[in-house]
Amino acid sequence: MLEIRNLHAAIDGNEILKGLDLTIKKGEVHAIMGPNGSGKSTLAKVLAGHPDYEVTAGEVLYEGRNLLDMAPDERAREGVFMAFQYPIEIPGVSNAQFLRLAYNEKQKHFGRDELDPLEFKDLLKERAKVVEMDASFMTRSVNEGFSGGEKKRNEILQMAVLEPKLAVLDETDSGLDIDALRVVAGGVNQLQGPENAIIVVTHYQRLLNYIVPDFVHVLANGRIVREGGKELALELEEKGYDWIVKADLQGSGAAAPAN
Amino acid sequence: MVTELAKPQNNYQSAFQSMRKAKPSVAWVELVRESAMDRFEVLGYPTVKDEEWKYTNLASAAKENFLPLAVRADLTVEDANRFSYPETAASHVVLVNGEFRPELSQTNDLGDVVVLDLFNATTDARYSKIVRDDLARSATYHDQGLTALNTAFLQSGLFVLIPKNVALKTPLQITYITDTGASSQMTLPRVLVVAEENSSAKLIESFVARGEQSYFTNSVVEVVLKDGARLQHVRLQREGRNAIHVGTTSAELGKGSSYNSTAINLGAKLARHDVSVVMDHEGSECWVDGLYVVGPDQHSDTHSLIDHKVPYCNSHQLYKGILDGNGRAVFNGKVFVREGAQKTDALQTNKNLLLSPQARVDTKPQLEIYADDVKCAHGAVGQLDQDELFYLQARGINPDLGKSLLTYGFAEEVIGKIEIESIRKELDEAVMNQLHARLEVQG
Amino acid sequence: MSTAEFLGNKEYKYGFVTDIESDVIPRGLTEDTIHVISQKKNEPAWMLEFRLKAYRHWLTMTEPKHWPNLKYPTIDYQDIIYYSAPKQKPTLASLDEVDPELLKTFEKLGIPLTEQKQLAGVAVDAVFDSVSVATTYKEKLKKHGVIFCSFTEAIKDYPELIQKYLGSVVPTNDNFFAALNSAVFSDGSFCFIPKGVRCPMELSTYFRINNSESGQFERTLIVAEEGSHVSYLEGCTAPKFDKNQLHAAVVELIALDDAQIKYSTVQNWYAGDEEGRGGIYNFVTKRGKCAGRNSKISWTQVETGSAITWKYPSCILQGDNSIGEFYSVALTNHAQQADTGTKMIHLGKNTRSTIISKGIAAGRSNNSYRGLVKVMPKAENARNYTQCDSMLIGSSSGANTFPYIEVMNDSSSVEHEASTSKISEEQLFYLQQRGISSEDAVSLIINGFCKDVFLQLPMEFAVEATRLLGLKLEGSVG
């Protein structure tokens, strides 16, 4: 589904990603872990097409197409969804209005029927159950005055409505208490299936107790320096990141996996 | 009907000529004074037709024909010391009627900081270049009649230089004492403060008077902050009750510098303060705060301009006003964000409290924005919160006391920012006194 | 695609010219011009007197050029045609006798006038250059006692009402443009809602400038008697000409005890081209007087057109407990300039006013809010709340707020809040990430920004306003 080859990306001229390789197949859940500043969030933003980041080398193939050639909204309509670490507030625009527009854009894109407000309301009601969200959130402005937990739930609700093929969760666990974490993770799990894939970007192992990854990749200094199964996350929880980062520096990249 | 002969400018012209004779100077100073005098002759006093003077009328002052003071006042060191604070007992610089008086000043705690007669500094080999670069630049006399008049009469004043990397521990106090003896006199204090790279200091300005005669203070203070300099600036205007006070403070901020000013206006029957901060270098930040407490028969006007010319500068402004009796206040705050000054953060707040049915306030918190990103202004006029008053009453505080407590609290947001304890204490008392006087009157 | 490129693609769809024979007087303005206008309209002597008085005062006045934040070349008032009317029979028995060219014009503008096609629920007075050409639903309204007719008819048929109220809110010497209008106004609309009547339909005037040389000077007068309610809409368009045309209107509203007037405008005069050539100079005086107790006047405006807008719909809150409201969206693009806002003058006790202003500046345009809140000494417990939000699109536009707050009463409270923001890259990216195109994203954000004002508009107008903003702003970011 997704193939990243030798990806280099920079912001304001500073290179953050320095040759990243990653392959993701349908049905898989991948966790990207790493210390602060390792480039985790950069990867998520580059996949979504954030304009501040410049891809300086490498390629990203999404379902065989060059993802980097696609505008951010086109990527979204084609099924790439990013749950933002800091969801944006949009005053005066109601959640329902916003979601219906996004939903119908996608419907239009695939030549399917658009939903009128009433039909959409039913859909929204059903999907809102996934994240245990109250109906009153639908009439409120997008993320305005939402608590941290409500914002994150709203992200997952959007994911439930837009049904992405590839979901990238950027530090979705940050700032969540354990109950909210359970709800958010539960929502993500319900949306996971054999036809789609999820990338969970996180600093802590905590979230991975709820969303169990098939693969764990450790990112340091702009590259993936170690890969393993879910047990790697537990090992990181116990030993921290230092030993991997150090091993990487000593082995000057020898720790990078043979693919 | 003003005839040619009675034009006040003509009186100023003869005073100007005799001043020049008494205090001749080098060519560039003569040129500055002359062109400033020319401008004053064209501009004269501002009138209410000028948008910037819409709510403050100087017509009667213009008619009264205040003339620059020529006589020296006799003061003792003890007289002068009464105006200093414990924190500034050994860092107290005194100007009497605009003239720097070293023999009345205390400079032991000033260390490497230079304080000199500004007029002498223009010809002092060590400082003339700095003075020539920075004098009469930010306080422009081309469109301000009274600034032009002040500039034309440059004959003493004060030059303060805080050298590179110097961190002045003791606050430096400048006291402007007016002691005119006769009425209808004008004093024209002029000060240039240059804070060099990475220096830091606290500056207190205090405007006071001996006696209750009527006089006109027309002061101009220019503050130049070089890269990385930090200045805390407290301005206390406590002129006599019969005084007219027109003061200009203009500051220019260097790269990464920080300017934190608090202006307290309590005195004078008619007071006007023009404060401008020009942010022409990236990374600078300013706080421009103030409080005006306006009692019966007083008029207080503050015009501020925060000029964001380049990106990445922040400004914060909080001005509060308390009006009593038939007191009248004007606040005009302009935040200018020029084209290209992206990533600007500017916040402006003006709040006014009316305590009497005869009080009047005119406020204009305006924004002129030619670049994007977020900034905001807030202006409000109101009275004390009834819920708060009731809460105090429910705790056994009588309404009158409750009112003065809440009013005090209103003022405290500004006064509390002043980092010099004895000034804070004095201002607290002054505000309380003013309020108690009112409460007694109301019985 | 750059902002300018994209916006340049959008055509002003009302820019066509109607080819019609007109009765035009020679350009220029003298006392004779005023006599001619008055004669052409068969006016009574008192009307001519009113005009001449205004004209003589106008001669002593100067154009207000120093305080508005506007720049434009000097207007030559002798180079304007002050009267231009389509030639037609002096009196029409029915709408079907209106020149078919005119009917076609208004139909093209979305305002069908013929009996079969009239808009349901909205009575329309159609004004073409200097005169009213048709008024729909007149008879139906008459049954309810509501008078809705052209100003010319009103002078003839209801002279006592006109004499009583004309100039009572905006005196002839009020300001330069109001004086000019009072001297030369050629037509407009008159509405009178009698005591206790709720006007059964929306009243509306549609203004159309057609002649490239003529100015438009119309007059609107609305009187709402005790306990009556009326909602009035106003729309404006003009053809595209390279020359600027002057529009100087005066609107007066009077609300007596317990009466309510809601006045909505969607102003879409031709704004000039990208380079700032052509477009309407819109200098308008609009003022309402809440003369009675508990009366209410509410202004809602969506200003998207005109090269220059100079306009301050105001409320004089004279009656105790009266309410004034001002809701405004002003959008400027390319080289447009707007200096607009309101005045709320609190005279009576417990008077309340609300000002919500949303300014959007794109291109090289300059958008200023200028507002006065004045609380007079006797206005006990007066309340005002003002919120001025500006949004900048692109980096060459300017947004300014000039609030004047004058308070002379200690029991009153006035609150002013202003903010300036831009559409952030982050907001756009977020919407794009959800599959919404950047054009739709901008329009969504703008509509959210303006929501508080659009909520005040009658339904049909809200839809029109939303569409209009979208059209004017498409692609202006990114």
pLDDT tens by residue, B50-91: 889 999 999 988 888 888 887 788 899 999 999 999 999 999
* Inter-chain CB proximity C400 and B355 less than 8 Å: no
Which residue in A49, A52, A74, A76 sits closest to A60, CA to CA?
A49
Which residue in B218, B421, A50 sits closest to C431, CA to CA?
A50
Q: Which of B6-10, B256-260, B288-292, B339-343 is predicted with the least confidence, judged by mean pLDDT?
A: B6-10
Q: What is the pLDDT of residue C4?
A: 30
Alpha carbon distance A69, A49 (integer Å): 9
C390 DSSP β-pair partners: C359, C420
- What's the average model confidence in pLDDT over B229-250? 96
Alpha carbon distance C126, C103 (integer Å): 10
- What's the average model confidence in pLDDT over C161-183? 96
Instruction: Using the Cα atoms of residue C398, residue C404, residue C410 and residue C414 in order, give the sign of their dihedral.
Output: negative
Q: Which residue of C has its CA nearest to A71?
A: C432
Contacts of C425 (CB under 8 A, 6+ apart): A51, A52
Averaged pLDDT score across all residues of chain C:
87
pLDDT digit string, tens, across residues C189-217: 999 999 999 999 889 888 887 877 788 89
Q: What is the pLDDT of residue B4?
A: 42
Q: Which residue of A has its CA nearest to C455?
A: A92
Q: Which residue type is seen at B43?
A: L
Which residue in C341, C328, C342, C323 sits closest to C383, CA to CA?
C323
Q: Which of A110-124, C369-383, C448-462 is predicted with the least confidence, judged by mean pLDDT?
A: C448-462
Instruction: Note the pTM of the prediction, 2 decimals.
Output: 0.82
Using the predicted structure, report yes or no on whether residue A250 has a pLDDT greater than 70.
no
Alpha carbon distance A98, C42 (integer Å): 58
* Inter-chain CB proximity A88 and C427 less than 8 Å: yes
The three-class DSSP label of residue A144 is coil
Q: Which of A235-239, B134-138, C7-11 is predicted with the least confidence, judged by mean pLDDT?
A: C7-11
pLDDT digit string, tens, across residues B188-230: 999 999 999 999 999 999 999 998 889 999 999 999 999 999 9
Q: In angstroms, what CA-CA distances link B178 with B106, B175, B188, B244, B409?
A: 18, 10, 10, 12, 32
Q: Which residue type is seen at C250?
A: V
Task: Report the gap between the CA of B68 and the closest CA in chain C (Å).
Answer: 34
Complex ipTM: 0.81
Looking at residue C307, what DSSP letter applies?
S
Q: Which chains touch A (3 or more CB pairs under 8 A)?
A: C
Q: Which residues of C touch B (CB under 8 A)?
A: 66-67, 375, 377, 390, 392, 395-422
Contacts of B70 (CB under 8 A, 6+ apart): B15, B18, B19
Q: Which residues of C451-468 are buried (b: 16+ CB within 10 A; e: fewer)?
A: bbbbebbbeebbebbbeb
CB A20 within 8 A of CB A190: no
Instruction: Using the Cα atoms of residue C121, residue C125, residue C129 and residue C133 in order, give the sign of their dihedral.
Output: positive
More confident residue, C61 or B428: C61
pLDDT digit string, tens, across residues B86-118: 999 999 999 999 999 999 999 999 999 999 999
Which residue in A91, C389, C83 sits closest to B375, CA to CA?
C389
Alpha carbon distance C355, B22 (integer Å): 59
Strands lying side by side in the sheet with A80-83: A80-83, A166-170, A197-201, A29-33, A215-220, A223-228
pLDDT digit string, tens, across residues C432-466: 999 898 888 888 888 889 988 988 887 777 777 77
Q: Which residues of A touch C432 (CB under 8 A)?
A: 49, 71-73, 76
Alpha carbon distance C201, C225 (integer Å): 17
The three-class DSSP label of residue B196 is coil
Which residue in A99, A159, A104, A164 sits closest to A130, CA to CA?
A159
The structure tokens listed for A230 are 């879910």
> Distance from first CA to last CA of chain C, Å, rounded?
7
Task: Report the gap between the CA of C409 and the closest CA in chain B (Å).
Answer: 5
Instruction: Using the Cα atoms of residue C246, residue C298, residue C109 and residue C361 in order, give the sign of their dihedral.
Output: positive
Alpha carbon distance B153, B324 (integer Å): 36
B48 in C contact zone (CB under 8 Å):
no
pLDDT digit string, tens, across residues A157-201: 989 998 999 999 998 888 788 888 888 888 888 888 899 999 999
Which residue in C435, C425, C428 sits closest to A73, CA to CA?
C435
Q: How many domains does the structure of chain A reveal?
A: 1
Burial class (CB within 10 angstroms; exposed 0-12, middle 13-18, buried 19+) of B188 = buried
* Inter-chain CB proximity A49 and C432 less than 8 Å: yes
Q: What is the pLDDT of residue C136?
A: 81
Q: What is the pLDDT of residue B396?
A: 62
More confident residue, B376 or A152: A152
Domain CATH number, residue A244: 3.40.50.300
Alpha carbon distance B46, A151 (integer Å): 55
| Domain span at A202 | 2-90+155-250
Task: Report the gap between the CA of A108 and the closest CA in chain C (Å).
Answer: 11
Q: Is A148 part of a structural domain of the chain?
A: no
Using the predicted structure, report yes or no on whether residue C62 has a pLDDT greater than 80.
yes
CA C114-C119-C124 angle, to 5 degrees, is 75
In this complex, which of C435, C438, C448 lies closest to A90 when CB atoms are compared?
A: C448
CB C221 within 8 A of CB C249: no
Which of A77, A84, A86, A88 should one mutate to test binding to chain C, selecting the residue with the greatest count of C CBs within 10 A?
A: A88
Q: Which residues of C touch B382 (CB under 8 A)?
A: 412-415
In this complex, which of A52, A76, A87 lies closest to C435 when CB atoms are compared?
A: A76
CB B193 within 8 A of CB B156: no
Contacts of A193 (CB under 8 A, 6+ apart): A27
More confident residue, A146 or C16: A146
pLDDT digit string, tens, across residues C99-138: 777 778 777 777 777 766 676 677 888 888 777 777 888 8
* Inter-chain CB proximity C405 and B362 less than 8 Å: yes
Q: What is the pLDDT of residue C236?
A: 76
- What's the average model confidence in pLDDT over A207-212? 88
Looking at residue B171, what DSSP letter applies?
P
Q: Which residue of C has its CA nearest to A155?
A: C434
Alpha carbon distance C219, C188 (integer Å): 5
The structure tokens listed for C51 are 């005009």
Q: What is the pLDDT of residue A99?
A: 85
CB B170 within 8 A of CB B199: no
Alpha carbon distance C189, A161 (integer Å): 51
Alpha carbon distance B150, B39 (integer Å): 11
The structure tokens listed for B65 are 């024909």
More confident residue, A123 or C90: A123
Q: Which residue type is seen at C30?
A: T
Task: Map tokens 């490239």 to a residue.
Answer: C212
CB A221 within 8 A of CB A38: yes
The three-class DSSP label of residue C262 is strand
Q: Is A96 part of a structural domain of the chain?
A: no
Put residue A17 in one of left, alpha, beta given phi > 0 → left and psi -120 to 50 → alpha.
Answer: beta
Q: In angstroms, what CA-CA distances link C191 with C144, C165, C183?
A: 13, 11, 21
* Inter-chain CB proximity B380 and C377 less than 8 Å: no
pLDDT digit string, tens, across residues A21-79: 999 999 999 999 988 888 999 999 999 888 889 999 999 999 999 999 988 888 888 99
Using the predicted structure, report yes or no on whether residue C315 has a pLDDT greater than 70.
yes
Alpha carbon distance A132, A120 (integer Å): 18
Counting every residue written for chain B, the total comes to 443
Contacts of C72 (CB under 8 A, 6+ apart): C244, C281, C307, C308, C337
B330 DSSP β-pair partners: B301, B362
Please tell me the number of Cα atoms within 13 Å of C467 on its side-chain side: 9
In this complex, which of B339, B357, B369 lies closest to C390 when CB atoms are compared?
A: B369
Q: What is the pLDDT of residue B61?
A: 87
Alpha carbon distance C291, C320 (integer Å): 9
Q: Which residues of C touch B359 (CB under 8 A)?
A: 408, 410
CB C358 within 8 A of CB C450: yes
Alpha carbon distance B340, B342 (integer Å): 5
The structure tokens listed for C211 are 């002649």
* Inter-chain CB proximity C435 and A73 less than 8 Å: yes
Task: Map tokens 């958008």 to a residue.
Answer: C367
Residue window 325-384, chain B: list those with CB within 8 Å of chain C.
337, 339-340, 342, 352, 354-357, 359-383
- Please, do chains B and C touch (3+ CB pairs < 8 Å)? yes
Contacts of C195 (CB under 8 A, 6+ apart): C225, C226, C227, C228
Phi, psi of B212 (to 5 degrees): -115, 20
Q: Which residues of C touch A (CB under 8 A)?
A: 424-427, 429-438, 440-441, 444-445, 447-452
CB A89 within 8 A of CB C423: no
Task: Report the gap between the CA of C432 and the closest CA in chain A (Å).
Answer: 4
Q: Which chains touch B (3 or more CB pairs under 8 A)?
A: C
In this complex, which of C66, C399, C409 lies closest to B369 when CB atoms are compared?
A: C399
Averaged pLDDT score across all residues of chain B:
89
* Inter-chain CB proximity C434 and A98 less than 8 Å: yes
Q: What is the pLDDT of residue B7?
A: 53
Using the predicted structure, report yes or no on whether residue C475 has a pLDDT greater than 60.
no
* Inter-chain CB proximity B357 and C420 less than 8 Å: no
- What's the average model confidence in pLDDT over B353-362? 91
Alpha carbon distance C302, C454 (integer Å): 9
Question: C338: how many CB neighbours lie within 10 A of its CB?
Answer: 30
Question: B42: how many CB neighbours lie within 10 A of its CB?
Answer: 11
Q: Which residues of C touch B378 (CB under 8 A)?
A: 415-418
Q: What is the pLDDT of residue A255?
A: 42
Which residue in B339, B347, B344 sits closest to C419, CA to CA?
B347
Using the predicted structure, report yes or no on whether residue A210 has a pLDDT greater than 70.
yes
Strands A166-170 and A141-142: unpaired
